[in-house]
Amino acid sequence: MELEKKFTEELYKRYQQTQRCLLPKEKYFGIIDELKQLQPQAKKTSRQYKLLARYEVLQCGHMEKLIKKRTTPEDSPIYFVTIEDTFDIIKTAHIATGHGGRDRMLKEL
């Protein structure tokens, strides 16, 4: 548990330096809500156009996931994850590869 806490704290420090690659939960769900509320015919701001160009919301059962905008629906989705969920995802991939190294984990992810 201590390792997870240190890892998450380090990610938050990096988020404070540059807010480009990391998403805390509130920002992640805020983007999903904003995308869902956009009306097709309504006038949009430049921020809304940027969100539409970069993100998509994928419905997985009762869950909604934020993914990178796909060029075609057949493309595999690339998921965005929150800072809080990053440790668990990396740990799961590490165990699934038999405690493999970085390259084997990247293939798993």
Distance CA 103, CA 51 (A): 31
pLDDT at 106: 67
Give mean pLDDT, residues 47-73. Answer: 91
Express each pLDDT in 80-90 by its tens digit: 888 888 888 88
| Cα dihedral 15/78/82/14 (nearest 10) | -20
pTM of the model: 0.78
Two tokens at 46?
């430049």
Q: How far from 26 is each of 6, 21, 23, 35, CA to CA, in Å?
A: 20, 15, 8, 14
Residue 1 half-sphere exposure toward CB, CA atoms < 13 A: 0
Closest CA to 84 of 29, 38, 43, 35: 29
